[in-house]
A = this chain, B = another copy of it.
């Protein structure tokens, strides 16, 4: 069997308690004793059994991260950032893919009084709406990612999606675009994040003195490239097609741009396009993609910090944290020449958009 603290204790001529103290960096251990225990640990090759420790401590040592789909760049990039934040706190991250399936999301939350599986949860809901989320009780700390959907019992971290969407659409309007479409609305209960972006879209239109046209707001059932392509096809069939498109994520934008170019439209000359998420691929695509860039590292840091605050016993009211975002302006709205000029304006910044 494995080496235990008893083996170490015997070897070092101390009690198991002392070994435990050394392993856990308990400060009040005589230097000499500590050294002897350390030596024994090394020579026996002792490793603490985390399962036993966690049983004793009444925790699992794991925090779960639930995202719709890892293959979506936003979520894989965010997951990486969250794992990097968690690593130094000696917890383990387990990632769950929900596919936005309401049943799986519900299971995760309801079953979470199987606090036997994880001590805390960072959760990016997609299939669950405000009323459902609000109805869920429970002891295990949860931090929600994405737009706040209600006054429910959960902490949450997001960017100001209304303002972010507004900035994207204002940018398009400032370029002289008059028929600005939106791809990605989700006009049903579980689409809160999409809906607030639509709200920002409308606010920006109004501010620019443009009248909204319902035909220009195309809902999609998901945020994949194929959905963006289909939506763009629909828009091109309009009697008066758009001269700009605001897509609710970068994958939708990739699909939309592909269709535009296939149909002989130039981007941005004929149709300007803005995405959302600042996926790395948009920095190398042709054209490079203007996009709203949520600060994923700040989001990750906020979410993890808040979760650990709860794990440490903080029992205050749910908090509502806002991470910053930026609008990255690239070729898909201002064209290649202007994009190059903008880059030259900030020497050495590498291949990035201009931040506003």
Give A contacts to B, CB under 8 Å: 2, 45, 47-52, 54-55, 60, 62, 69-71, 73, 76-77, 79-80, 83-84, 92-95, 97, 111, 113-117, 225-226, 229, 254-255, 257-258, 261, 280-281, 283-286, 351
Contact = CB atoms under 8 A, between A and B. Distances in A.
Contacts of A97: 80, 83-84
Contacts of A351: 226, 229
A70 B80 contact: yes
A45 B93 CA distance: 26
A62 B51 CA distance: 11
Counting every copy of the chain, the complex holds: 2
Contact of A2 (B79, B116, B117): B116
A84 B98 CA distance: 11
Nearest to A228: B284
Contacts of A285: 254, 258, 285-286
A47 B114 contact: yes
Nearest to A229: B284
Contact of A50 (B60, B69, B77, B95): B60
Nearest to A59: B51
A116 B50 contact: yes
Contacts of A94: 62, 92-94
A194 B48 CA distance: 38
B284 A254 contact: yes
A224 B197 CA distance: 31
